[in-house]
Structure 1
Amino acid sequence: MSEQRFTLPFRSAQGPIGLALAALIAGGWLGIHAYAMFVFELSWSNLPFAILMAAVQCWLSVGVFIVCHDAMHGSLMPGRGRINAAIATVLLFLYAGFAWRTLRDAHHTHHRLAGHKGDPDFDEDNPSSFLRWYWTFFKRYFGWQSLVFVHTVVGIYWLVLGIPMVQIVLLYGAPALLSSLQLFYFGTYRPHHHADAKPFADKHNARTDGFSTLTSLLTCFHFGYHLEHHHRPDVPWWALPAARRAGVVEQSYETGTVRKEIAA
């Protein structure tokens, strides 16, 4: 798709900005995990802090996946395909034993077939049911490799290192599972589910949340600005608010890009 009239802010520094933000997100995520597993000692007195730490870890887990999503589109480090792939390969594996190429190919299929048969992110049998769709989503992506990886990590932490199971569940398992729910709800279900009151605008079968910039960041690292993302997948997550303010979707309509794509 052409870039219409939107110019990416700090375009000349897109790679360094993306890399710096990725380092902050992934560094915080790994740092909290290491502290929670190897330093922190869970007790009733520090349970509120543990819950806060788990909530932050859940949010950072979402951020890690969004960084990998940018890598899938080459917008993390433009023109540096190997660096994009290397960063996402490591982070996706650490996240839940995911395979980079499998998720990358599935995501590009999603963009080609958004909301249609064959879209791996869409449940054509339950297009309005959150729970049934999430179960389909979960089964498609959390395969045997992820289960083996997670069980291996938990086994080492519990049986070898002696970390209490309740601490593993609260500070490792819960943030991981809740982040998958957060990603699914704000990044897949809300933008793509069928609702009679809010019909889709075009062939992308996606909607954009009307959240403020801060709320958008806290919910899903701006992935709720989803129609903008489908129109401009080259725009990194941190620039999606600017793309929304610039009206990239409306620009597509004005230039006839969407109509041409639908006709094709």
Structure 2
Amino acid sequence: MTEGPRRRPHSLVSGLLAGSVVLCWLTLHVAAVWHLDAAARPGLALAALLGLTWLSVGLFIIAHDAMHGSLAPGRPGLNAAAGRLALTLYAGFSWRKLVVKHMAHHRHAGTERDPDFGHGRRGPVAWYADFVRTYFGWREFFVLGGATILYALLLGPRWPYVGFWVAPSLLASIQLFVFGTFLPHRRGDDGFPDRHNARSTRMGAPLSLLTCFHFGGYHHEHHLDPSVPWWRLPAPRARA
């Protein structure tokens, strides 16, 4: 009986944060694609690119929390709807495909059966190539390609600004891979603390937020309790 009241504030915070990330992404996306003259204001264009990259990471993290049911605890339909929206905005990814693969990652983390592990390769480039092949298929190609063509038709001479969607998605995938997969799950001399084959990178909370919404700095904590939303991941270590 007490679990529900405890979760309601967490669910409200998760919803507000998710809504803020989506709204900020949409606002910056529209402003950059439709109104920003990148040639005349290159500094502002670079800031917009970096902002959209970070917010694109946030879109994926929203979907990730939704996969674990921590975005809206006890409401699977709302989690699925929010996750689908976030993944569509990010790069048109399939919600069902990512749920299946991510659950397999948690069951078999750091083994040959882990779809994120890169078949045991230690090299980051080869591992990232496997990472992309695992999650980027024909669906994503046609979504991004179709959106690019549509924007080009609508924007005319302004079509290069479509890069403010494609480029942030690609840069965000590198950021997610490096801080959310490679650094936490790579095999090294330090080993892993337990069967989860995951480590936390032990960076401070501000840097952890900027790099991967805490899924680098607190990755082991996530594997210990996947139901904890991203914004609460620093809490257990802070209490300790």
Instruction: State the TM-score, normalizing by the size of structure 1.
Output: 0.85
- Report the secondary structure of 2:233's partner residue: helix
Task: Find the aligned partners of 2:208 and 2:201 in 1 and give their Cα distance.
Answer: 8
Q: Quick one: which of 23, 26, 43 aligns to 2:22? A: 26
Q: What does residue 229 of structure 2 align with?
A: 236
- Larger radius of gyration, structure 1 or 2? 1
Q: Does 1:123 align with 2:118?
A: yes
> CA deviation digits over 1:69-95, x for unaligned, max 9?
000000001111100000111221221
Query: Per-residue deviation at 1:163?
Result: 5.0
RMSD of aligned C-alpha atoms? 1.5
Q: What does residue 70 of structure 1 align with?
A: 65
> CA deviation digits over 1:234-264, x for unaligned, max 9?
10000000022235xxxxxxxxxxxxxxxxx
- In structure 1, runs of 5+ residues without a counterpart are 1-6, 248-264
Aligned residues: 235
Q: Quick one: which of 168, 172, 175 aligns to 1:175? A: 168
Letter in 1 for 2:167: A
8 A contact 2:59–2:89 mirrored in 1: no
Task: Find the aligned partners of 2:46 and 2:210 in 1 and give their Cα distance.
Answer: 17
Query: Per-residue deviation at 1:168?
Result: 2.1
Runs of 4+ in 1 over 3 A off after TM superposition: none
Task: Find the aligned partners of 1:102 and 1:118 in 2 and give their Cα distance.
Answer: 16
> CA deviation digits over 1:181-220, x for unaligned, max 9?
0000000000001112x21111100000111110110110
Q: What does residue 136 of structure 1 align with?
A: 130
Query: Per-residue deviation at 1:105?
Result: 1.2
Q: What does residue 255 of structure 1 align with?
A: none
8 A contact 2:38–2:44 mirrored in 1: no
Q: Does 1:39 align with 2:35?
A: yes
Q: Percent identity?
A: 43
Q: What does residue 210 of structure 2 align with?
A: 218
Q: What does residue 105 of structure 1 align with?
A: 100
Q: Does 1:146 align with 2:159?
A: no
Q: Does 1:50 align with 2:42?
A: no
> CA deviation digits over 1:58-78, x for unaligned, max 9?
000001110110000000011
Query: Per-residue deviation at 1:118?
Result: 1.4
Task: Find the aligned partners of 1:103 and 1:123 in 2 and give their Cα distance.
Answer: 16
